[in-house]
């Protein structure tokens, strides 16, 4: 992999690192404890350009590449995964959707405010019965008799930043009779300040507790036709393309969590004494730390490979699903493994809320839950079958 870091890459990485240490670190534990959404620091992150790193400047972003986004997100996640997931959703699920499929008018009206940090964006695919199964959507968006708006009804669940979002990209069935069903799915831009939209309770989560998540409800919500994203029936294609980008964000978040747990473990192993010597002198501890480092570096290379593939796709128009799925799957499993070992190294202190190790452990779990492994398996099997024929 030919990875040449520019001065701009180093700058955005250092900016994110300084911001995370100075602005987020002092409040991370408190917001994890209370579950309160960190509006103030999220707003500051937007002002720093962290909400639209790969968005061109003409649409309110910074105009950098996916590697720059990965570097910045990794640094934020090392300090607090809750802030990182808000940043990830805005960049990869919301902004990327408009960059790929939005009209010029939509980009200026709905992309610019989120990329510049004025408001928060969200992405609504999951439903209570379907998870991330975009072909099994039950929320409907039916065209009005005069063809000027869609009437939206139904419920979406587990919407990250749902309680705080001004705009949401929604996927709904605009043609419930379509067969196969995914051909009837369309994408829409929802303004949460309009009648017919409401929010459910904020979910009391195990980890990333300061990243607010909730159900959202639609009751005869009127969405103007000009707020449809892409063509009618293109929703499934849009959701799959956007999820490819989203997996890189999840992988970067997992990498940051794993790095934080690793660095804390190295420091603790050099300080803690047992049986007359530093615990870092015991071979079993050394092996755990060595394995942590290897898995982290392997994750990093998979993530960078996926980021480069995403940027190359602008010219080649090839999908980078396999690269993003492998990065997401391996990095999330690494985060869970590394944080588990970090608790073992810290022993009782790792289980105590006096240190952030148990928070890293809780935050890492959600990165494993998002799909990714099944997509890797499907694509690898398809390639094997092609080679065998």
* Residues tagged active-site: 371
The SS3 call for residue 314 is helix
Q: What is the largest distance, in Å, between two alpha-carbon atoms of the chain?
A: 82
Alpha-carbon span 375 to 373, nearest angstrom: 5
Of the candidates 189, 188, 128, 183, which has an alpha carbon nearest to the alpha carbon of residue 154?
128
CB atoms within 10 A of CB 40: 10
State the helix-helix crossing angle for 357-369 and 25-34, rounded to 10 degrees: 70
HSE-CB at 108 with a 13 A cutoff on CA atoms is 3
Residue 204 CA from chain centroid, whole number = 19
Per the CB < 8 A criterion, the answer to whether 140 and 152 are in contact is: yes
Supply the angle between the helices 321-346 and 357-369 in degrees, to the nearest 10.
150
Is the sign of the CA dihedral 66, 337, 78, 202 positive or negative? positive
SS3 content of the chain, % helix, strand, coil (to 5): 60, 15, 25
For tokens 């709905």, the residue is 110
């Amino acid at each position: 992999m030919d990875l040449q870091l520019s001065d701009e890459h180093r700058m955005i990485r250092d900016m994110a690192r300084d911001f995370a240490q100075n602005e987020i670190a002092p409040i991370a534990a408190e917001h994890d404890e209370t579950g309160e959404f960190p509006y103030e620091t999220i707003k500051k992150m937007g002002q720093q350009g962290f909400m639209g790193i790969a968005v061109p400047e003409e649409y309110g972003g910074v105009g950098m590449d996916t590697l720059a986004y990965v570097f910045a997100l990794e640094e934020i996640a090392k300090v607090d995964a809750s802030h990182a997931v808000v940043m990830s959703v805005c960049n990869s699920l919301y902004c990327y959707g408009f960059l790929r499929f939005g009209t010029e008018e939509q980009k200026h009206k709905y992309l610019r405010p989120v990329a510049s940090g004025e408001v928060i964006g969200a992405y609504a695919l999951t439903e209570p019965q379907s998870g991330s199964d975009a072909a099994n959507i039950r929320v409907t968006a039916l065209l009005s008799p005069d063809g000027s708006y869609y009437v939206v009804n139904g419920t979406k669940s587990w919407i990250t930043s749902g309680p705080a979002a001004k705009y949401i990209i929604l996927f709904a069935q605009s043609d419930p009779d379509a067969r196969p069903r995914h051909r009837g799915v369309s994408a829409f831009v929802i303004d949460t300040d309009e009648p017919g939209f409401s929010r459910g309770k904020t979910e009391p989560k195990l980890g990333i507790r300061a990243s607010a998540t909730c159900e959202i409800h639609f009751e005869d919500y009127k969405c103007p036709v000009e707020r449809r994203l892409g063509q009618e029936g293109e929703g499934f294609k849009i959701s799959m393309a956007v999820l490819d980008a989203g997996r890189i964000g999840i992988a970067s978040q997992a990498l940051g969590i794993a790095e934080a747990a690793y660095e804390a473990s190295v420091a603790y192993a050099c300080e803690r004494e047992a049986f007359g010597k530093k615990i870092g002198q015991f071979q079993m501890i050394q092996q755990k730390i060595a394995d942590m480092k290897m898995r982290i570096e392997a994750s990093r290379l998979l993530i960078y490979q996926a980021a480069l593939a995403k940027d190359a796709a602008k010219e080649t128009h090839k999908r980078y699903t396999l690269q993003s799925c492998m990065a997401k799957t391996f990095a999330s499993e690494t985060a869970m493994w590394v944080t588990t070992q970090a608790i073992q190294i810290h022993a009782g202190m790792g289980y105590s809320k006096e240190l952030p190790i148990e928070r890293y452990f809780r935050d890492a779990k959600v990165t494993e839950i998002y799909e990714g492994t099944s997509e890797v398996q499907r694509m690898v099997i398809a390639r094997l079958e092609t080679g065998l024929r």
